[in-house]
Amino acid sequence: MDLDDTPEQAAYRAQVRSWLDAHKREAPVLQGPGAIEDEDEIIAARRVWQGKLAEGGLAGVTWPKEYGGQGRGPIEQVICNQEIGNAKVPGILDAIGVGMLGPTIIAHGSEEQKSRYLGPMLHGDEVWCQLFSEPAAGSDLAAVQTRARQQDDGSWRLTGQKVWTTNAQFASYGLLLARTDADVPKHKGMTMFIVPMDAEGVTVRGLRQISGEAEFNEVFFDDLALDENAVVGGVGNGWGTALTTLMYERVTIGLGGEGLGYNSTRFAAAIASDEHARRDPEVRHQLGEIASELLAVRFTGYRTLTALQRGQIPGPEAGLAKVTIVNGAIKAGELIADTVGPDALAEDSQWAYMISFLPGLKSAGGTEEILRNTVGERVLGLPPEPRLDKGIPFSELRSKEGAPA
Report the residue from 228, 288, 346, 390 that binds another protein according to the rule CB under 8 A.
288
Q: Where are the alpha helices (DSSP H) in 341-389?
A: 350-361, 368-378
As measured in angstroms, the least distance from the Cβ of 310 to another protein is 7
For the chain, give the number of residues. Answer: 405
Are 300 and 306 in contact by the 8 Å Cβ rule? The answer is no
As measured in angstroms, the least distance from the Cβ of 16 to another protein is 15
Judged by beta carbon, residue 146 or residue 264, the one nearer another protein is: 264
Report the residue from 7, 154, 212, 281 that binds another protein according to the rule CB under 8 A.
281
Tell which residue, 95, 89, 94, 116, has the closest CA to residue 105.
Answer: 116
Are 245 and 131 in contact by the 8 Å Cβ rule? The answer is no
Report the residue from 23, 114, 188, 303 that binds another protein according to the rule CB under 8 A.
303
> One symbol per residue from 71 to 110: x for binding another protein (CB under 8 A), - otherwise; what is it?
----x-----------------------------------
As measured in angstroms, the least distance from the Cβ of 177 to another protein is 26
- Rule CB under 8 A: which of 364-383 touch another protein? 369, 372-373, 375-377, 379-383
**Which residues have a Cβ under 8 Å from the Cβ of 284 and sit 6 or more positions away?**
278
Kindly state whether residue 361 participates in binding another protein, applying the rule CB under 8 A: no
Q: Which residues are registered as beta bridge partners of 191?
A: 178
Q: Residue 203: how many CA atoms within 13 Å on its side-chain side? A: 10
As measured in angstroms, the least distance from the Cβ of 209 to another protein is 26
Judged by beta carbon, residue 25 or residue 310, the one nearer another protein is: 310
Report the residue from 44, 136, 268, 361 that binds another protein according to the rule CB under 8 A.
268
Question: For another protein, which stretch binds (CB under 8 A), given 136-144, 163-171, 173-181, 284-292?
Answer: 284-292
Are 283 and 277 in contact by the 8 Å Cβ rule? The answer is yes
Phi-psi bin for 251: left (phi > 0), alpha (psi -120 to 50), beta? alpha
Are 58 and 84 in contact by the 8 Å Cβ rule? The answer is yes
Q: How many CB atoms lie within 10 A of CB 9?
A: 15
As measured in angstroms, the least distance from the Cβ of 205 to another protein is 34
249 is an active site residue: yes
CA gap 275, 273 in Å, rounded: 6
Report the residue from 265, 343, 346, 399 that binds another protein according to the rule CB under 8 A.
265
CA gap 249, 124 in Å, rounded: 19
Judged by beta carbon, residue 206 or residue 288, the one nearer another protein is: 288
CA gap 83, 80 in Å, rounded: 5
Radius of gyration (C-alpha) of the chain in whole angstroms: 22
Which DSSP letter does residue 98 get?
I
Kindly state whether residue 347 participates in binding another protein, applying the rule CB under 8 A: no
Kindly state whether residue 295 participates in binding another protein, applying the rule CB under 8 A: yes
Pairing between strand 128-131 and 173-179?
parallel
CA gap 277, 353 in Å, rounded: 22
DSSP 180-200: S-TTSBTTTSEEEEEEETTST
> One symbol per residue from 386 to 405: x for binding another protein (CB under 8 A), - otherwise; what is it?
x-------------------
Question: For another protein, which stretch binds (CB under 8 A), given 31-39, 98-106, 199-207, 299-307?
Answer: 299-307
CA gap 78, 309 in Å, rounded: 12
Kindly state whether residue 297 participates in binding another protein, applying the rule CB under 8 A: yes
The site that binds another protein (CB under 8 A) totals a number of residues, namely 56
Judged by beta carbon, residue 261 or residue 384, the one nearer another protein is: 384
Are 383 and 358 in contact by the 8 Å Cβ rule? The answer is no
Kindly state whether residue 287 participates in binding another protein, applying the rule CB under 8 A: yes
Active-site hit among 134, 218, 249, 258: 249
Judged by beta carbon, residue 42 or residue 307, the one nearer another protein is: 307
Q: Enumerate the active-site residues.
A: 249
Binding site for another protein (CB under 8 A): 1-6, 9, 75, 264-265, 268-269, 271-272, 278-279, 281, 283-285, 287-289, 291-293, 295-300, 302-303, 305-306, 309-310, 317, 320, 323-324, 369, 372-373, 375-377, 379-386
